[in-house]
């Protein structure tokens, strides 16, 4: 137990009302009851984006703590029971195991956690997405922490001028590598531009100072954990803001230009990431388009003040229009790439089965 605060955001899809669209209040209430019963937490909120339920928790036990992970797992299990009773769609979808084994990583839920000493003022933004994958944060995180056209602070704030260190995971090989920005920008872009495999795990202030964590994202890939397609990973991300870190407005700015992500309809299509309020996060159009919500909190003596539901703002209306126009265009391509994901990304769907059943009919091209 330390004076440091840990902010844990742990999420799972444990059932949805009518398709993969929404988390009904009964599930939220049940998860909240579980968290309320615990004396481990300083504070908590249960929220959602589309069909994904997010547990946002503060405590003093550090990251990757068994008790916190077990609490989250129990909350998801309890909500799954309700989902089963109500015969909701995809009840327990993201819970890949029957028994908890110390850490929810690899068991289905997505996890973003950071430990820090609460500053004089501690503003954080929690990003939550539905119908996409962890690599969806690569482009916005790059803009927020390495692109001076997005983040004025990189140019004008002496405390940010040296840039940031990025930790990137290779999800396929199970390896990680650190890059120093801006010196290694071009090297890093080679990798993070391939966001289905290389994902930004966390970002740090430069130097060995205490409390240098600036951002961290969930990097779990359900399909890699389960060996087959079981839903997309629908990631979360935590970003600390202000006072030598990006301003809140710099954190939100990349989402004004919706970028293309994978995970739309059956986890098998590319589409624009549309910024929405939590209330507006029910994906309808072809089960999408992919959604992102941004919740702002002040962490005050371990308590979560907020949220501020940032993308409810009219300033993101144009982004929504742009995303809808892109969505219309992408849809015209139906089952053709690049709307549909490339073959190697479809490996956990029914496609390999179709391939197999037609194997005998393939003949050599004899010319
Ligand atoms: P801080 O320097 O207080 O983080 O804020 C800078 C600012 O004005 C953001 O627009
Ligand atoms: P989720 O991953 O959000 O459950 O969506 C599954 C899907 O395939 C919707 O089309
Ligand atoms: Mg679902
Ligand atoms: Mg989802």
DSSP 85-139: HTT-BTTTTT---SS--S-STTSS-EEEEEEE---SS-EEEEEEEESS-GGGGHH
Q: Which residues of 68-101 are buried (b: 16+ CB within 10 A; e: fewer)?
A: bbbbbbbbbbbbbebbeeeebbbbbbbbbeeebe
| Ligand having the closest approach to the CA of 14 | 3
Instruction: Check pLDDT > 90 for residue 8.
Output: yes
Which residues 6+ apart lie within 8 Å of 37 measured at CB? none
Q: Given this model, what pLDDT does residue 80 score? A: 97
Q: Given this model, what pLDDT does residue 348 score? A: 65
Nearest-atom number in ligand 1 for the CA of 249 is 10
Helices assigned H by DSSP within the chain = 25-37, 66-85, 138-146, 153-156, 185-192, 222-226, 248-252, 264-267, 317-331, 351-357
Q: What is the mean pLDDT of residues 187-191?
A: 98
Hey, what are 87's tokens? 């015969």
Nearest-atom number in ligand 2 for the CA of 52 is 3
Give 101's pLDDT tier (boundaries 50, 70, 90).
Answer: confident
In short, whether 243's Cβ falls inside 6 Å of ligand 1 is yes
H or E element in which residue 47 lies: strand 41-49
CATH topology of domain 1-116: Alpha-Beta Plaits (3.30.70)
Q: How far apart are CA 245 and CA 18, in angstroms?
A: 41
Active site residues: 13, 229, 232
pTM to 2 decimals?
Answer: 0.95
Q: For a pocket test of ligand 2, which of 17, 131, 236, 273 has the largest count of ligand atoms closer than 8 A to its C-beta?
A: 131
Average pLDDT along the chain: 94
Nearest-atom number in ligand 1 for the CA of 242 is 4
What are the distances in angstroms from CA 196 to CA 59, 232, 262? Answer: 32, 12, 8
Q: How far apart are CA 17 and CA 247, in angstroms?
A: 36
Instruction: Check pLDDT > 70 for residue 228.
Output: no
Q: Are 269 and 339 a contacting pair, CB within 8 Å?
A: yes
Nearest CA to ligand 2 atom 1: 231
Nearest CA to ligand 2 atom 4: 231
Nearest CA to ligand 1 atom 9: 247
Q: Given this model, what pLDDT does residue 230 score? A: 62
Q: Given this model, what pLDDT does residue 354 score? A: 86
Give 227's pLDDT tier (boundaries 50, 70, 90).
Answer: low
Q: Are 16 and 23 a contacting pair, CB within 8 Å?
A: yes
Looking at residue 341, what DSSP letter applies? P
Q: Given this model, what pLDDT does residue 231 score? A: 60
Which residues 6+ apart lie within 8 Å of 279 measured at CB? 309, 312
Cα 192 to ligand 1 centre (Å): 28
Q: Given this model, what pLDDT does residue 1 score? A: 52
Instruction: Check pLDDT > 80 for residue 93.
Output: yes
Backbone angles phi, psi at 83, to 5 degrees: -60, -40
| Ligand having the closest approach to the CA of 289 | 2
Instruction: Check pLDDT > 70 for residue 229.
Output: no
Give 208's pLDDT tier (boundaries 50, 70, 90).
Answer: low
Q: What is the mean pLDDT of residues 263-286?
A: 96
* Chain-centroid distance, C-alpha 91: 20
Q: What is the pLDDT of residues 37-83, one digit of tens each?
A: 999 999 999 999 999 999 999 999 999 999 999 999 999 999 999 99
Q: How far apart are CA 45 and CA 57, in angstroms?
A: 7
Cα 260 to ligand 4 centre (Å): 17
Q: Which residue has the tokens 């969930």?
A: 218
> Where are the chain's structural domains?
1-116, 118-354
Q: Which residue has the tokens 């984006």?
A: 49
Q: What is the pLDDT of residues 106-140, one digit of tens each?
A: 888 999 999 999 999 999 999 999 999 999 999 99
Hey, what are 114's tokens? 């950071």
Q: What radius of gyration, in Å, describes the C-alpha atoms of the chain?
A: 20
Give 347's pLDDT tier (boundaries 50, 70, 90).
Answer: low
Q: Given this model, what pLDDT does residue 310 score? A: 98
Residue 281 burial (CB count, 10 A): 26
Phi-psi region of 131 (alpha: psi -120 to 50; beta: other; left: phi over 0): left
Instruction: Check pLDDT > 80 for residue 204.
Output: yes
Give 97's pLDDT tier (boundaries 50, 70, 90).
Answer: confident
Q: Given this model, what pLDDT does residue 106 score? A: 81
Hey, what are 282's tokens? 């029910």
Q: For a pocket test of ligand 1, which of 153, 159, 214 has the largest count of ligand atoms closer than 8 A to its C-beta?
A: 153
Give 105's pLDDT tier (boundaries 50, 70, 90).
Answer: confident
Instruction: Check pLDDT > 90 for residue 223.
Output: no
Nearest-atom number in ligand 1 for the CA of 241 is 4
Which of these ranges, 182-186, 227-231, 328-332, has the smallest mean pLDDT? 227-231
Cα 322 to ligand 4 centre (Å): 22
Strand partners, 202: 167, 216
Nearest CA to ligand 1 atom 8: 247
Q: How far apart are CA 292 and CA 132, in angstroms?
A: 9
């Amino acid at each position: 137990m330390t004076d440091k605060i840990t902010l844990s955001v742990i999420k799972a899809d444990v059932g949805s009302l009518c398709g993969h669209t929404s988390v009904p209040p009964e599930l939220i209430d049940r998860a909240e009851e579980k968290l309320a019963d615990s004396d481990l937490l300083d504070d908590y909120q249960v929220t959602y984006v589309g069909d994904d339920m997010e547990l946002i928790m503060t405590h003093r036990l550090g990251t990757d703590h068994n008790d916190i992970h077990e609490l989250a797992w129990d909350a998801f299990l309890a909500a799954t029971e309700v989902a089963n009773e109500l015969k909701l769609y995809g009840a327990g979808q993201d819970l890949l195991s029957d028994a908890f084994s110390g850490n929810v990583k690899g068991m289905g839920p997505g996890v973003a956690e950071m430990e820090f000493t609460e500053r004089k003022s501690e503003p954080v933004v929690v990003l939550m997405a539905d119908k996409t994958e962890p690599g969806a944060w690569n482009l916005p995180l790059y803009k927020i922490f390495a692109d001076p056209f997005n983040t004025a602070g990189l140019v004008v704030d002496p405390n940010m001028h040296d840039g940031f260190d990025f930790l990137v995971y290779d999800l396929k090989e199970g390896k990680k590598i650190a890059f120093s920005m801006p010196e290694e920008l071009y090297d890093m872009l080679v990798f993070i531009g391939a966001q289905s495999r290389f994902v930004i795990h966390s970002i740090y202030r430069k130097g060995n100072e205490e409390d240098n964590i600036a951002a961290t994202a969930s990097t779990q890939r359900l399909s890699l954990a389960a060996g087959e397609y079981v839903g997309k990973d629908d990631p979360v991300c935590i970003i600390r803001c202000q006072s030598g870190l990006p301003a809140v407005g710099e954190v939100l700015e990349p989402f004004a230009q919706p970028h293309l992500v994978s995970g739309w309809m059956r986890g098998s299509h590319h589409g624009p990431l549309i910024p929405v309020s939590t209330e507006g996060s029910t994906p309808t159009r072809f089960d999408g388009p992919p959604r992102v919500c941004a919740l702002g909190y002040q962490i005050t003596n371990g308590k979560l003040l907020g949220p501020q539901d940032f993308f409810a703002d009219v300033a993101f209306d144009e982004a929504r229009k742009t995303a809808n126009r892109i969505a219309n265009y992408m849809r015209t391509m139906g089952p053709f790439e690049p709307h549909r994901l490339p073959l190697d990304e479809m490996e956990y769907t029914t496609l390999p089965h179709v391939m197999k059943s037609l194997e005998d009919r393939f003949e050599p091209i004899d010319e």
